[in-house]
């Protein structure tokens, strides 16, 4: 069994929910809003997948208390306690969040997401590698443009799920072909 845990900000826990739907074989209104046919990504048996938890972590306080990160990077801005970083910092913090949820849950694959100013940060951490990327949509949390923020969220969710499905099917070439992806061997 491969266990996944997420610590999500701008994706609102939807990555974990979608992966849970795939792992459970749900279709229709109870999941698979982003990927209709995960089987098309390879031969991985999704019955061997389990989502341990999917956390929505928008605030700096939750990063400290729930994820047990004592000294996270100082956000550029706080909006009602919600952390708002620039894109470079988002990538760094998404990795820190993924590493923290991996440590807390002892899962096999951990996901961290956060987005303030720019395209955001998305990290997928395993024992063997760390994949860091962004969404392909730029937005600014400080401007409160809900349509733009929604488009960034939707793009980030879909992109992350695709990365995880490619990862589960050992298809690193497809991951490398995506926009703005860095793969680091651990």
Q: What is the pLDDT of residue 118?
A: 98
Tokens of 39: 């089987």
Determine the Cα–Cα distance for residues 32 and 66; give it in Å rounded to an integer: 28
Q: How far is CA 47 from the centre of its chain?
A: 21
Are the beta carbons of 2 and 51 closer than 8 angstroms? Answer: no
b/e per residue, 139-162, with b = 16+ CB within 10 A? bbbeeeeeeebebbbbbbbbbbbb
Distance between CA atoms of residues 145 and 159, nearest Å: 21
CA distance 32 to 8: 18
Q: How far apart are CA 82 and CA 57, in angstroms?
A: 9
- pLDDT tens by residue, 128-176: 999 999 999 999 999 989 999 999 999 999 999 999 999 999 999 999 9
Q: Where exactly are the structural domains of the chain?
A: 2-57+85-185
Instruction: List for the chain the helix, strand, coil content (%; round to 5).
Output: 40, 25, 35
Q: Which helix (H) or strand (E) holds 158?
A: helix 146-168
| pLDDT value at residue 32 | 67
Nearest Cα to 135, choosing from 117, 112, 154, 148?
Answer: 154
| Sequence-distant (≥ 6) Cβ neighbours of residue 19 within 8 angstroms | 4, 6, 49, 51, 54, 161, 164
Q: What is the pLDDT of residues 82-138, one digit of tens each?
A: 999 999 999 999 999 999 999 999 999 999 999 999 999 999 999 999 999 999 999
Please say if the pLDDT value at position 186 is more than 90: no
| CATH number assigned to the domain covering 2-57+85-185 | 3.90.950
What are the backbone dihedrals phi and psi of residue 154, each rounded to the nearest 5 degrees, phi first? -60, -45
pLDDT in tens, 122-133: 999 999 999 999
């Amino acid at each position: 069994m491969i266990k996944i845990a997420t610590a999500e900000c701008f994706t609102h826990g939807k990555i974990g929910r979608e992966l849970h739907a795939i792992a459970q074989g749900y279709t229709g209104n109870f999941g698979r809003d982003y990927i209709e046919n995960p089987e098309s990504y390879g031969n991985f048996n999704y019955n061997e997948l389990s989502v341990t938890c999917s956390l929505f972590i928008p605030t700096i306080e939750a990063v400290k208390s729930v994820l047990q990160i004592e000294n996270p990077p100082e956000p550029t801005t706080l909006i009602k306690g919600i952390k708002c970083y620039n894109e470079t910092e988002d990538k760094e913090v998404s990795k820190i969040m993924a590493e923290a949820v991996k440590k807390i849950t002892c899962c096999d694959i951990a996901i961290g997401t956060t987005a303030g100013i720019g395209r955001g940060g998305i990290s997928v951490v395993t024992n063997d590698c760390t994949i860091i990327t962004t969404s392909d949509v730029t937005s600014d949390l400080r401007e409160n443009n809900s349509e733009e923020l929604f488009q960034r969220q939707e793009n980030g969710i879909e992109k992350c799920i695709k990365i995880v499905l490619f990862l589960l099917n050992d298809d690193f070439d497809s991951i490398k072909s995506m926009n703005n992806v860095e793969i680091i061997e651990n």
